[in-house]
Amino acid sequence: MIAVQEFNQVHFIEIDENADGQRVDNFLLKTLKGVPKSRIYRIIRKGEIRLNKKRVKAESKLRTGDSLRIPPIRLQQEDKQVDLSKFDKVQALESCIIEETNQFILLNKPSGLAVHGGSGLSFGVIEGLRALRPKEKFLELVHRLDRDTSGCLLIAKRRSFLTSCHEQLRCKKMRKEYLAVVSGAWNNQFNQVTAPLKKNQLRSGERHVTVDPEGKASDTRFKCLKRFKRHSLVRALPQTGRTHQIRVHALYAGCPLLGDFKYNDNPDEEKVAIELGLKTFLLHANKLTFNLPDSDKRLTFEAPIPPQMNNVIEKLKD
């Protein structure tokens, strides 16, 4: 990644294995942080980006050993990025790291922090980690978690690791385990929910997911771990990765997540959530299991349950 203050000079980047096979535009969007997307596509069209001394198209693929020329780019004052490394929330990510190797970072993501910036958010986990690890040439999300979901989040430090994990996700070899506090007594006849899910876009731009015969095939395995007087603690193992999948499948099973004000519209449950001090639902990715690339070795990591979730569970026991 090129620092903002260095955009005023020509750069020659030698492509390494982490960028092999990547599109030119995608590589530039990740490398030239702080440069508007429209500006990047404009300098590509004008021929100012050169690959091995030749003009190049946005969709052209990079190969290891290629030389990419990046021209001087003058930034307007308002275009310049804020130094995220000075933000307290970014610094706090350091203490959230469960495991770090030369291939990956495994993070216990806090609830309330998005995995990436956008939609009015100045930054997310990936921007924060790039600020904390400026010397890392490659940091990419292996998968995503909702902003209000906490727990295991895997970030690749090598393209080979990212490719391997995506293949494991596709072949259902990566195992994700979640814990959730739901409203009502969980019925064990819903230990597998396969209701198809359809993603809808509201006028506000907000995403809302519904069970719909025309939706995408979805599969979540549930198990009730503990029943309280009016609530339950359940384990969820998603076999597919649809938007809001666990939340909507729990709703379909008749036990929406406590504090999920989007999908749990029961006024009594809303009152309970407020009394418990909840501003959102309790969904925690507590375990993640995957293979290292080209290896049969299975690794399992666990993220401790957040204090607020523990506190709510203790209060529900009473």
**Against a cut of 0.85, is the pTM above it?**
no
Whether the per-residue pLDDT at 11 is higher than 50: the answer is yes
Whether the per-residue pLDDT at 235 is higher than 90: the answer is yes
Fold of 84-161: Pseudouridine synthase (3.30.2350)
- So what's the pLDDT on residue 297? 85
The candidate with the shortest Cα–Cα distance to 246, out of 264, 231, 230, 229, is: 264
pLDDT band at 200 (very low <50, low <70, confident <90, very high): confident
Summarised one tens digit per residue, pLDDT across range 26-60 is: 888 888 877 888 888 889 988 899 999 899 999 99
Report the mean per-residue pLDDT for the chain: 88
Question: Which DSSP letter does residue 292 get?
Answer: P
The active-site residue out of 146, 148, 212, 296 is 146
In whole angstroms, how far apart are CA 224 and each of 57, 190, 199? 53, 10, 27
The alpha carbon of 139 is separated from its chain's Cα centroid by a whole number of angstroms, namely 12
- The answer to whether the CB of 25 falls within 8 A of the CB of 58 is yes
Summarised one tens digit per residue, pLDDT across range 166-191 is: 999 999 999 999 999 999 999 988 89
- Token pair listed for 279: 């501003």
- The answer to whether the CB of 24 falls within 8 A of the CB of 49 is yes
- Of 3.40.720.10, 3.40.50.300, 3.10.290.10, 3.40.50.2020, which CATH number belongs to 4-79? 3.10.290.10
Whether the per-residue pLDDT at 206 is higher than 80: the answer is no
Separation between Cα atoms, residue 160 and residue 214, nearest integer Å:
35
- Token pair listed for 280: 């959102």
- Token pair listed for 87: 């933000």
The number of beta carbons lying within 10 Å of the beta carbon of residue 104 is: 21
Separation between Cα atoms, residue 194 and residue 24, nearest integer Å:
39
Same fold, 84-161 and 174-281: yes
- So what's the pLDDT on residue 79? 42
Separation between Cα atoms, residue 256 and residue 263, nearest integer Å:
7
pLDDT band at 1 (very low <50, low <70, confident <90, very high): low
The mean-pLDDT minimum among 122-131, 227-236, 271-280, 307-316 falls in 122-131
Helix (H) or strand (E) holding 315: helix 307-317
Residue found by looking up tokens 């260095």 in the block: 6
Annotated catalytic residue 146 = yes
Q: Where are the domains of the chain?
A: 4-79, 84-161, 174-281
- Is 188 or 261 the better-scoring residue by pLDDT? 261
- So what's the pLDDT on residue 8? 66
Whether the per-residue pLDDT at 288 is higher than 90: the answer is yes
- So what's the pLDDT on residue 3? 47
Separation between Cα atoms, residue 181 and residue 259, nearest integer Å:
9
Counting residues of the chain whose pLDDT is more than 70, the rounded percentage is: 90
pLDDT band at 5 (very low <50, low <70, confident <90, very high): very low
The residue-averaged pLDDT of 3-11 equals 62
In whole angstroms, how far apart are CA 169 and each of 163, 222, 226, 278? 10, 19, 29, 32
The mean-pLDDT minimum among 12-16, 151-155, 234-238 falls in 12-16
- So what's the pLDDT on residue 203? 59
pLDDT band at 202 (very low <50, low <70, confident <90, very high): low
Summarised one tens digit per residue, pLDDT across range 66-120 is: 999 998 886 554 444 445 555 677 778 889 999 999 999 999 999 999 998 764 4
Counting residues of the chain whose pLDDT is more than 90, the rounded percentage is: 62
pLDDT band at 270 (very low <50, low <70, confident <90, very high): very high
- What SS3 state is found at 24? helix
Which architecture characterizes domain 174-281 according to CATH? 2-Layer Sandwich (3.30)
